[in-house]
Amino acid sequence: MRCIMKIWTRKYSYFSDPFGAKGCWQIALLLIGLMFLSACGTAPPDAILNKAGQSAIVFVKENSRDGNNNNAMKSNRDEFHEGSDLFLLSPVAPTGELKNLTYQYTTEGKTNPRDFGAAADPEVSFDGTKILFSMKESRQSKWHLYEMNVDGSDLLQLTDADADDMDPIYLPNGQIMFASTRPGIVDEYERRASPLLHVADRGADGRLINVRCVSFNQSHDTNPIVHSSGKIIYSRWEHLGNPNKFPLFVMNPDGSRVFVLYGNHSPTQSGSRVFLEPRELSDGGIVCSVMERNSRFEGGAIAIIDISKSDDNLEFISPDTSPFVTRNGSQAIFKTPHPILDPSASNDRREKILCAMSPFPVNMDDEEEAVDYGIYVMDKDGQNLRLIYNDPDFNEIDPVPIAPRDELPGGLPQVIPTSPEIAQGLANNQQTGIFFDGNVYDRSPNDRQMRPSPDFVNKDGSLGQAKWLRILEAVGMPISRSQRGGPIGNTNLEKQRVVGYAPIRSDGSFSVEVPANRSLHMQTLDENGMMLVNQITWVQVMPGEQRLCTGCHDSHDRDRIIEDLEVQLDKSVRNTAQNRMYESGFHNAVNVMTHSAARTDTVDFFDKFNVNRTNTVQAALERNCVSCHNTASPAGGLRLENLASDLSNVDEPTSVYDILTENDGYTTARGQQRDYVTDDGARRSPLMWVMFGRQLNDDSNEDYRQLSYDHTQLWDKDANGLIAPFLPGNADLLMMIEWIDAGTQYSNTILSDNQ
């Protein structure tokens, strides 16, 4: 009883204004607490979950009351709290019996708290008899996966890799999925080890074997669940360039058909909202926590999402005072929701939500603000919030009911078998997969990028503004700082390389064979080989996967359109609704890596680790431009030749790089100042206007300033007298275009251990 009482007797700052604007919610919490206190000891146990199959929960009692400054961008690896354990509460009531399931592994026999371990991420097996979780035996060890009976007996260690394995879930085919730092890369923003999703088989001894990465993001993929449809829904840190948010993604358990589910472009007001900890509701929808990237204490609101809809449909069920960013004046923050069923309740009150909740701010004896999460339950509409358990010395989070899956919302998940193409690709160690896209012009405008026109008339008289497809691949940043190479430079985009090219056919379709198991993104290009639209999410294909797409950044209606696509016996693709064939199909996919301009190297502006490299932008400038734009007498005041001082500090870009990418060095015909190059693309970069002798993003040409020297004579022309990007003599020009369109990075190369 001590643990229940202390939450209401501790002096919290949120009682300081009981009759102000926040008083009603605070008084309600106090009354709830007093109701529980009056029931303790003599009254029968709370019957919220005390019924067949739902008489217990497992949760984490996290030792994070002091120094808990975590935000939504951190994984377990970055928020270790020694002395955190899994607890079993049975029955689920303030008077229930509490049992520590992991103390003997994390703490017992240890005297120095820095040697204590921690347990996290509980998940219950489909039959309700096992608990799968992650645990560190000490601060110095890695997170590994474990399994035990629900009473804590028969502990089995499942993994022991030199990496952090976390967030495990059971899959209906008998496999285990989990997040792991095994790929050895850091995220694109804060440079912390990135956990990505993996699947593994169970060996004869129950341990995990045949571990395979199935998500290829460059930042965190976390919080996976298996939906009743058999699909995996998870939270993904999206940060390819300017986007920086955590939408929900969906994929098949084998890693195929990865796509955004909710929160990338909608809700429209999303900004930096973070959607974490999804769980399935009875109707197939999702309940999750919603916060912002920098929400303190990794807490916010609880919301319901109808995932069948593509438009805004976020329904908040926690009180209006629940914040996205915690700040003074907020009364409570929530996290880790889990739906349950109450068969004894009326139909409109049958489904309820377990969750962690803390009054906020909590004043710990006049020290800085903190949180005190406890386990609560509320109706699906957020009404009737009731306390289940709180120990004010700990934060209680991640409540999971001990029950067979068919007695919980969503029920038992279906099994989605691995497609024959992927099964064969894995068996044969195939290195590629195929993307088919029906129409690049059929795209959503939500990302605020341009919409190329199929009726655009090109300089050669052909129709269709999108002529080419460029495939780029992420160059993952190693955990070891010594291997990260030169600085990124003046850009929000990270290291990447050009893989290759393919044509976009006249009907707007393309079919491309690309590297499997990589973080890829695509750019549609104009007739000059310059970017029109930049895909701002990492995509992937599994080995052998034949993936159907329906347009760049399309909405959820894509599922309906994909149902209209029928792959024929000869691997061509037919649209059954429109009764037409696409010019592209799986039968004539273009291997982008065999294109004449495909690359195996990276495009770097300059490489101070190898100053004699000939495949850098600076080397191209030396070959074509420095004779006029030299240090002694720079034409037009533009110096493109390195200074001796540029070769010194390897951690700084060269002065030429800075001249081109900042300081507004170009004067337009209208007297405005712009950078010579911009990470908005080559079409918008005056350096390329100069090379082509005209403004490239606007036919009015009103910003291009005519020069005395005709720079177009530097490049080879096609039969129409036009500069063609893929002519062999224009390799240096294409490299400059690629450098700009990839994001104007100074360095894209990483170093090996011996460099």
165: tokens are 């394995």
pLDDT score of 744 more than 50: yes
Residue whose structure tokens are 């009764």: 579
pLDDT score of 37 more than 50: no
Q: Return the amino acid letter for 185.
A: I
Cα separation values, 94 from 47, 48, 62, 162, Å:
10, 11, 18, 40
Highest-scoring range by mean pLDDT, 37-41, 62-66, 120-124, 406-410: 120-124
Three-class SS state of 592? helix
pLDDT score of 632 more than 90: yes
pLDDT score of 13 more than 60: no
DSSP 623: H
Three-class SS state of 674? strand
What number is the average pLDDT over the span 484-497?
A: 91
What number is the average pLDDT over the span 98-108?
A: 94
User: Predicted confidence band at 517 (pLDDT cuts at 50, 70, 90)?
Assistant: very high
What number is the average pLDDT over the span 541-559?
A: 72
Give, to the nearest 10 degrees, the angle between helix 617-624 and helix 731-741.
140
The residue with greater pLDDT, 653 or 188, is: 653
CA-based nearest residue to 375, from 4, 753, 685: 4
Q: β-strands 176-180, 165-170: how paired?
A: antiparallel
Share of the chain above pLDDT 90, in %: 64
Q: How far apart are CA 489 and CA 96, in angstroms?
A: 58
pLDDT score of 56 more than 50: yes
**Could you report how far apart the first and last alpha carbons of the chain are, in Å?**
62
Q: Can you say whether the dihedral through the CA atoms of 544, 545, 550, 551 is positive or negative?
A: negative
- Average pLDDT of the chain is 85
What number is the average pLDDT over the span 44-58?
A: 54
Three-class SS state of 84? strand
pLDDT at 262: 86
CA-based nearest residue to 737, from 692, 701, 673, 703: 692
What is the separation of C-alpha 174 from the centre of its chain, rounded to a whole number of angstroms?
Answer: 26
Please list, in sequence order, all residues whose beta carbon lies within 8 angstroms of the beta carbon of residue 63, skipping any fewer than 6 positions away: 81, 82, 83, 84, 118, 394, 395
Asked whether 208 and 243 are in contact (CB, 8 A), the reply is no
pLDDT at 691: 96
CA-based nearest residue to 219, from 196, 197, 253, 241: 196
Q: How far apart are CA 349 and CA 347, in angstroms?
A: 5
pLDDT at 8: 31
Given this structure, which CATH class describes domain 2-407? mainly beta
pLDDT score of 29 more than 50: no
User: Predicted confidence band at 450 (pLDDT cuts at 50, 70, 90)?
Assistant: confident
Q: Where are the domains of the chain?
A: 2-407, 420-479+499-594, 617-741
What number is the average pLDDT over the span 711-723?
A: 94
Question: At CA 372, angle to CA 275 and CA 277, rounded to 5?
Answer: 20
What number is the average pLDDT over the span 134-163?
A: 95
Torsion angle, alpha carbons of 69, 70, 71, 74, to 10:
150
Report the 10 Å Cβ neighbour count for 211: 17
User: Predicted confidence band at 190 (pLDDT cuts at 50, 70, 90)?
Assistant: confident
pLDDT score of 312 more than 50: yes
Please list, in sequence order, all residues whose beta carbon lies within 8 angstroms of the beta carbon of residue 685, skipping any fewer than 6 positions away: 675, 676, 677, 678, 740
